[in-house]
Homo-oligomer: A and B are copies of this chain.
Amino acid sequence: MKEGFGKLTSLKEAKEVILNLIKEKNDEIIELDRALKRVLAEDIIAKIDVPHFKKSAMDGFAVRAKDTFGATNVNPKELRVIGSVKIGTVPKKTITNRECMAVSTGCMLPNGADSVLMVEFTERKNHKITIYKAVTPGENIIDIGSDIKKGKLVGKKGELINPRTIGNLASQGIKKIRVKKKPVVAYFSIGDEIIKAGEKLEKGKIYDINSKTIIAGLKEYNCDVIDLGIVKDNKEKIKETIKKGLRADFIIFSGGSSLGEKDLMCKAVSEIGTILIHGIAVKPGKPVLVGKVKNKLVLGLPGYPTSSLSNFYILVIPIIEKMLNVRYPLNTIKARLARKVVSTIGRYEFMAVKIEDNRVIPIMRGSSSITTLSEADGFIEIEENTEVLEKDSLVTVRLF
């Protein structure tokens, strides 16, 4: 009673072997404008205070607070307007005793002034204003460095760049930044039965699904993809295609649902490299092949769509994370199982689930099914040593 795979490698061990073949990407310098979703490869320290000058937070008049003390509606005071500050310029005058200058929001505060009185509490007549309110020193002023102090970390090495971090960097006038280069991944599908979209579907043939889902997944994680197409069940062709893929950082292929393909894959990889693992204790997605060709990872995913896409989530994302030295945020929720789930002891299980009315509903349609994942909201991970998850038990769902 042969198993076909001999002893299966645990997921943990497989990940170690795979990640050992993966090197962190080098850096490159790009425009900040193209930095969205890239990974910062340097700490960025603020070189300038933000704001880098004392400025008005309101439209009104820059004053010395003590000149306003005592002013109220019933007991107004008067100040002399010695000019107005033009936004974006350095005020030319200094305010002294009972003087003020008109300012608008964002204007630099003139020397001598320590606060801004809002325009709403004033009445202007030519070069005089009547003020109906007192202000305290510092009122309506945005101080130097109150948002970002010089020397503060405004971008952290390893950070995934989003519009908000871009704002931080833009405040420093930064034009270019150092980021991790994008991972480059080569992909091909293997199988005599696989045909391209648009081709006529004969009995026995199937359309290529895995190239579309895996490549879309890689693009979602901002990888550059070398699409090597569909390769027939032919050892030499497979070897040739792997060699073509060696200009990528690593190679993924899918296929080998059939016995003949399994053999071909193994032979092809071992003739030009080494097979490190064949068969991982995961469900679905057991028939994973991990090889090394010219020191590059060659990762064979199962032909079944759900298996190969599951493996993408549990094996390929960690590879991308290691290359970029980043952790993609896991989007998870906790909720209760709508029914009992029985898993296989000794195999990690990736179970696609739907969430309805805050209940977790396992989708069990088999690994050959593509709709399993397309109907799922996410998946739960069942550890190797867990056999049963009871109905109503609290589980963590990783949302897609």
Q: Shortest distance in angstroms between A163's beta carbon and chain B's nearest beta carbon? A: 4
Q: Which B residues lie within 8 Å of A257 (CB)?
A: 104-106
Judge if A172 is at the interface, Cβ distance under 8 Å.
yes
Judge if A81 is at the interface, Cβ distance under 8 Å.
no
How many angstroms between the C-alpha atoms of A333 and B397 in the bound complex? 13
Most B Cβ at <10 Å: residue of A90, A108, A206, A261:
A206
Interface flags for A143-186 (1: CB within 8 Å of B; 0: not) read: 00011100000100000001111111111111100000000000
Partner-contacting stretch, out of A13-21, A48-56, A339-347: A48-56
User: Which one of B32, B48, B105, B212 lies within 8 Å of A166 (CB-CB)?
Assistant: B212
User: Which one of B193, B203, B366 lies within 8 Å of A87 (CB-CB)?
Assistant: B193
Partner-contacting stretch, out of A213-221, A235-243, A271-279, A387-395: A213-221
Judge if A198 is at the interface, Cβ distance under 8 Å.
yes
How many angstroms between the C-alpha atoms of A15 and B173 in the bound complex? 33
Q: Shortest distance in angstroms between A233's beta carbon and chain B's nearest beta carbon? A: 7
How many angstroms between the C-alpha atoms of A128 and B318 in the bound complex? 47
Judge if A202 is at the interface, Cβ distance under 8 Å.
yes
Judge if A74 is at the interface, Cβ distance under 8 Å.
no
Known: A167-B305, A258-B104, A258-B105. A53 touches B209 (CB 8 A): no
Most B Cβ at <10 Å: residue of A195, A203, A217, A369:
A203
Q: Which residue of chain B is the closest to A1 with respect to CB atoms?
A: B120
Residues A98-133 near B (CB distance < 8 A): 104-108, 119-121
B36 and A87 form a contact (CB under 8 A): no
B107 and A258 form a contact (CB under 8 A): yes
Judge if A33 is at the interface, Cβ distance under 8 Å.
yes
Question: What is the interface size of chain A, counting residues whose CB is below 8 A from a CB of the partner?
Answer: 95
B59 and A258 form a contact (CB under 8 A): yes
How many angstroms between the C-alpha atoms of A148 and B371 in the bound complex? 7
Known: A57-B368, A164-B376, A258-B107. A170 touches B213 (CB 8 A): yes
Q: Which B residues lie within 8 Å of A300 (CB)?
A: none
B147 and A368 form a contact (CB under 8 A): yes
Q: Shortest distance in angstroms between A252's beta carbon and chain B's nearest beta carbon? A: 14
A163 and B303 form a contact (CB under 8 A): no
Pull 7 A–B residue pairs with CB atoms less than 8 Å apart, ordered by A: A1-B121, A53-B204, A90-B203, A105-B303, A171-B370, A173-B195, A173-B207
Q: A163-B217, A170-B208, A170-B370 are in contact. List 12 more A-B contacts (CB 8 A).
A: A3-B120, A36-B220, A57-B366, A90-B202, A106-B193, A108-B204, A147-B369, A147-B370, A166-B213, A171-B207, A173-B195, A333-B333
